[in-house]
Structure 1
């Protein structure tokens, strides 16, 4: 009997070893990839998953923005952002892929009156529990911390992200500016006083690729924020990339720098902006009301520019009438 059992064990052993080798091989094959659809998600994430599925492009890319009640009310920046999508060149269809993350119930209610893809604040209640004033202006670091945590959760679900600030006008589709395989595509404008950079301006929009490298890099940022809460952990992705070149290289976090002419802003004005820019960001501006005022002027100029080009079949430069209230 013992001999028979030993013989069976000898026969089973190679098969067991084969199974173990096969499992290791499959794990190696899947290394570096994000798998979705294999997990059971908590109830608060189900709405997010459903909205992302409805809003996604064929390549699993979604457009995200975040608003609180100061940015989602009559006459607010959310209205201007949505109007730019409707009025832009090749941007109307992209509205179907825009997901608006709301940070409070008033913002959610108003969002639902304007747009079909709005995420209730309870989905991210562990990040939005503490209310802040007009986050993009008075407490940008808190907004960036919340935004980057949202990015982590969406990337974990396997969706590429185009993130846009609400104070960005979409004049033309920016999709051609994004590198489809590199981890981030972003526009960084470095101003200098001769020998060294003293200020940095972002275009208010960036693309992030959903893969293991991006996810690990985002989690490193989050861990640094938790372990060293009092240190000056960069909130700007341009600053993070510039000040952490060794870390970027170590993770293999590839950066595609978009020409600042394509992602323009109030910080770097030129008379070619309406012709060259795909988006325009109301940066270098410290007041919500001023941003809305000047962005509406930009939209009006954009209408006039397109009409002029259509009637005259030319791209003659137009003198900029903005910014008027955004002066720094």
Structure 2
């Protein structure tokens, strides 16, 4: 029996090898015969000036392809009116697409919607799903079951049937999807596209950070979310709306002409390095252990699963059968215990809760299953491909130079890609906050300054100083020095707004930093408090400073900007935005962290470092926070008050989503245990006195320079836990050694 099974595997392997080689050779013959005609076409394109970024003379339907913003707008009638009804507060829309076969009763659309209801507290996300129907019957089916449907007219071809992967209609459908997504970005909306053959179990936005321009799922994940060698699956990906991502979509669509015939996923894989190098597009890949699929099913477990994709599976019937099985398994799993109980036991039995093998979509064996077939197929394809590359090497340089010269136009989109005006906040009630005139008068010039400082996604980094902290060799110099010595974060200084609370601090800021703002703290109620000296913690001047800071932050949110506030006694070593998720309204550092980022009750917030997204809810949160000051003793500062009301904010009508940052990554002197391999910031918290802070933060920066100077290989980075930081000598009286 064993011999028979191995003989069968042997013959299957060589059959697949022969088949792959044959198919590639046939394709090469076809390409050779069409090379001359394609070159003639390109010459004609040069004469008629047809190859513009965004159209690239590709055979995309004129109904969904345009050469200008106005004509693109006419191609997607009513989309601009529909998006505000579907979008979340932060102008994010979830998009999926269906044809008649996918949308009919008991097909994929029903399963897709059912998964949201069966998932963990994600049913509300259905209100933000836009279902794009590509034929009239699908549109009718959609309207019968879902509130937000859009009929996308594709060029004349039958898109109603269960089209097979890589058929002409399938390829046309995925490229049409890309055109619509570009228009969504141009209208100023972020999107998360999800294939309809994906089941949702948990909120994926918890795993999508604010750092990346594009966050995409994978067919195969190698363990490093930043590694461009991961193989993307564009059946599930998030893109935020910026000029850069609009241009990314244009170049992606234009690349279709360079790689015919192909679908958008393969072409994105071909050009991802170009996009990263030429546009600076930041791509993050999602772990298949969390965003699972049938390609790497054995990497997934129910305790962490957010989604399950019927990828590496052909045929509507097969997908329906196996996705129904997946949903049944999930229902059985969740019926065993409530989420809180499963969370408690997550390190034990939950971690062993795996999925059963898809019955219709393949039966991978313990050694990798269908990957043996994939390996043999790819090996067969590799041989003639290498031969082709060798024979065509005289033209490789020419092709690469053509690729690198594509799309060097300006990134401006006529204001559309960043069409989120200062007061254009889509909130719970659909209305924008209307700040009183006195608020505008209180912060003169701020509205004009913010666009100069903000990142493309309208995020501003804010810190505050007085004359003592801004003096030469004091905290402001150390703060700026940390960016310049950090791991690729010097550019973030261009997005730091330094708020000076006195004239001396403002003058010193202007001498060393491009973006400074003078805040009238006295006018805010500081009275005769001296704000220029090295005010000690909890002094009158200190208290007025932190509450004035909160007023300014509220105004920043009202103007439509998200912010990351950082005390000036924090050393920045790596980019913190990699650890801030789209899910949270507030992402905040901790004095003491108890292992669960969502534990509002136990974690101790530190408002010296926190990120807030601009929505109606967060504007109201800042108002509520400031108003709560009167309920606490006069000597209470903003941090104490926030700690006192955090459960009200999270559990009340506002339902603010608060996420706490791990002190191993966002370290401080209260819990001094930074991991050199992952640390982002170090805060001189639990430390009293300017001189003490300056002394010990200099040691932090010196330690970091020593660590990075000796960091010559990934292996050393892995051994970063052995690195020993200098214990804060001057601040030790305020610290408990860990």
Superposition TM-score tier, normalisation by shorter sequence? 0.7 to 0.9
* Equivalent position to 1:324, from 332, 339, 359: 359
* Matched length: 280
What secondary structure does 2:276 align onto?
A: helix
What secondary structure does 2:288 align onto?
A: coil
- Distance of 1:114 and 1:94 partners within structure 2: 15
Do the aligned residues in 1 keep the contact of 2:232 with 2:285 (CA within 8 Å)?
A: no
CA RMSD of the aligned region, Å? 2.9
Do the aligned residues in 2 keep the contact of 1:185 with 1:255 (CA within 8 Å)?
A: yes
Higher relative contact order, chain-length normalized (CA < 8 Å, sep 6+): 1
Does residue 141 of the first structure (1) align with residue 168 of the second (2)? Answer: no
- Distance of 1:199 and 1:255 partners within structure 2: 10
Do the aligned residues in 2 keep the contact of 1:203 with 1:263 (CA within 8 Å)?
A: no
Does residue 308 of the first structure (1) align with residue 336 of the second (2)? Answer: yes
Q: How does 1:151-230 map to 2 (within 5 A)?
A: 151-190=181-220, 200=231, 202=233, 204-225=235-256, 227-228=257-258
* Equivalent position to 2:110, from 79, 85, 103: 79
Instruction: Give the direction of change, closer, same or farther, for the CA distance of 1:72–1:224 in structure 2 (3 Å limit).
Output: same
What secondary structure does 2:313 align onto?
A: coil
What secondary structure does 1:59 align onto?
A: coil
- Distance of 1:303 and 1:52 partners within structure 2: 32
* Equivalent position to 1:283, from 311, 328, 352: 311
Shift of 1:120: 1.8
Shift of 1:298: 0.8
- Distance of 1:326 and 1:62 partners within structure 2: 30
- Distance of 2:96 and 2:311 partners within structure 1: 16
Do the aligned residues in 2 keep the contact of 1:160 with 1:209 (CA within 8 Å)?
A: yes
Ranges in structure 2 where 5+ consecutive residues have no aligned partner: 1-68, 223-228, 363-369, 371-738
Partner of 2:158 in structure 1?
A: 131
* Equivalent position to 2:91, from 54, 60, 64: 60
Shift of 1:119: 0.4
* Equivalent position to 2:260, from 204, 210, 231: 231
What secondary structure does 2:93 align onto?
A: strand
* Equivalent position to 1:103, from 122, 127, 134: 134
Kindly provide the CA deviation profile for residues 273-315 of structure 1, in whole angstroms up to 9, marking residues without a partner as x: 2111100001111110111111111111111111113397545
Please say which of residues 272-281 and 68-77 is displaced more in the overlay.
Answer: 272-281
Please, what TM-score do these two structures have when normalized by structure 1? 0.76
Shift of 1:93: 0.7
Larger radius of gyration: 2
